[in-house]
Structure 1
Amino acid sequence: MALPEAQPAEILRSWQKDDLYEKQLAGSLSKLIPSHAPKAGAISSLLYKSFTTLKDLQTLGEEYSGIVQVDETYHRLPTFSNRLFSILLSAFGENLTRKCISHVTKQVEQNASLKPEAQNAIIVVLKTLGNVVPQIESIHRALSYMYGGPLQVGKTVTGINYVHVRPAAPAYYAHLRLLGLVTLLHAIISCGQSFYQAKKQMDEMSDFPNEVDSSKSCVACLEEILHPCVLECGHLFCMQCCYGVLESCALCRTPFTKNTVVPLMNYKP
């Protein structure tokens, strides 16, 4: 006979207990190894799950709530690979995603073959994606409050769920559904703000001149060009910027050296 699916309240109670123990372990690790304090949270989660979930044991929170992890059939324990991938995704998924986005952003910034318009647009999209990533977990948690299922994205991705192994006390879940609705609305509003800021930046870039020739302002410092200079790529900037902090063209990202800068003595933009 199949065991009943765990209710959202029991899953939440289990997660809260495990989160408490993991934070206590992270605090101890931070005191023991101060140099690794920023990574203590992820390391403590990995250690905690390694000695429980990976050993085919309930976590302390799961034992407290009387629930057990199962696969999508609700009849078997999840495979070792699924449990391991779920743990790694929950512990390092967000940080790894942020690092990947940051790495791609740097590659785009250093890619001189891209047009400035495309380069700036890609950077804005990547920045917006980085702002939206934390809200994905909030949206997933809100749906779990409302409709049940695991709170961690890693468990949902690997098809892990929970069942009761002892009779659950009758409870009303209206307040939990309300919490899920509020959490969902907050996450959607946060995502909307990120998309609005991205659209605003895209509109500002579309209104900004791509060539300095048609303007009296230097793109690098946004001041009036008093002593114009031309770079090897053909773009114009003021002398103060060319012989100052600039090491590559602010428009096309082409690198240049100071001895290749050509002052235009009789040119007025």
Structure 2
Amino acid sequence: MSTAELRYANQFEIIRSEEKDRYLISQLSQQLDELYTKLFGLNNFHIYQPYLHRLSELLYYLTTTLSNRQTIGEEYVCLIQYDPITKRIPSLMRRLFMIFFRIFGDLISKYFLTTFLIRPIAEDFFHPKLSLQTIELITRFIITSIERTHKISFYLTGYYYNISKILTRIRYLIYSRSTSESIEIQSNMNKTIKLLSLCLCIQHIIETYTSLKQVALSISQHRNQLNLIAEEEKEKEKKIVSEDITSSTDYVRCPLCYELAISNVALVPECGHVFCWQCIHTWVAENQTCPLCKTNTTQSRIVHLINY
């Protein structure tokens, strides 16, 4: 004895539908790739390939979901999109938003996370010049963590397979007949789903720990690079200051030995010329004149300048 009923689709039925759609989108994407290479060659193909894949998704859902038709996967499993709020098929605008978020949601979330969350936190706690590689790593970690958490939630509840369906509140209905055999199968499936959810939780914890280590390592390396740059800038400033000091004391460079006479300066009072104390004493002992202007002087007349 069996009874027909219209019920919410379970996890495995939704996954079968999604896998079928994903396969067809990949086939369409390959055809677009071949068309692009035939028209434009392989130049810059690696740049435009991700956009071609998004274009294939957009074309697929425009010709199915937005045209008020089932996708191939939904038709394969006999799924019907359902709006629990209005209790009818989702409106055109709701389906349009669902397609938009499904295809471009990662780009939008990446932009908002980077602009309004990661950069302000970096300016407050890390460094305003946080490297683009580190920002990309943090953004990918946050987005990946949200996706993994949502996947675990889907396997536990069976509500929404894709985050875009959470935002638009679109679920799946399926028409089926309940028998004692189907009830037993459903019970076994529930046990399998619980085991799978546990495995996903363990995987999520391990991958989160690994990703956090990578983020911490990237931030540490970036800080070390900034410290090295700061030290190099300080060394340059010290060098500039020392060069300025040197240039400002050129007038006390000894004309005899061509060394700076900073702490041991001697003055010939008759003419005012400055020399090293040792150099001028040695010269005057032999010549009794100033080495520059030949003005007569003696060793006793030489003045030792302190703190010149």
Whether TM exceeds 0.5 here: the answer is yes
Q: How does 1:1-269 map to 2 (within 5 A)?
A: 3-34=6-37, 35=45, 36-73=48-85, 75-101=87-113, 117-119=126-128, 127-167=137-177, 170=182, 171=185, 172-173=188-189, 174-198=191-215, 219-220=228-229, 228-230=235-237, 262-265=240-243
Query: 2:248 maps to which residue?
Result: none
Distance 1:264 1:71, change over 3 A: farther
Greater percentage in helix: 2
Question: Number of paired residues?
Answer: 224
Distance 1:116 1:153, change over 3 A: closer
* 1:38-97, Cα deviation, whole Å (9 max, x unpaired): 222211111111111111111111111111111123720112222111111111111333
What one-letter code is carried by the residue in structure 2 that aligns with 1:134?
Answer: T
What one-letter code is carried by the residue in structure 2 that aligns with 1:43?
Answer: L
Once residues 128 and 105 of structure 1 are traced to their aligned partners in structure 2, the CA distance between those partners, rounded to angstroms, is: 11
Structure 1 unmatched runs, 5+: 211-217, 231-235, 240-261
Once residues 37 and 126 of structure 1 are traced to their aligned partners in structure 2, the CA distance between those partners, rounded to angstroms, is: 20
Once residues 107 and 132 of structure 1 are traced to their aligned partners in structure 2, the CA distance between those partners, rounded to angstroms, is: 14
Distance 1:47 1:11, change over 3 A: same
What one-letter code is carried by the residue in structure 2 that aligns with 1:21?
Answer: L
How much is the aligned-residue C-alpha RMSD, in angstroms? 3.9
Once residues 75 and 2 of structure 1 are traced to their aligned partners in structure 2, the CA distance between those partners, rounded to angstroms, is: 16
Query: Does the residue aligned with 2:80 lie in a helix, a strand or coil?
Result: strand
Calculate the TM-score normalised by the size of structure 2.
0.59
Give the structure with higher Rg (CA): 2
Structure 2 unmatched runs, 5+: 38-44, 246-308
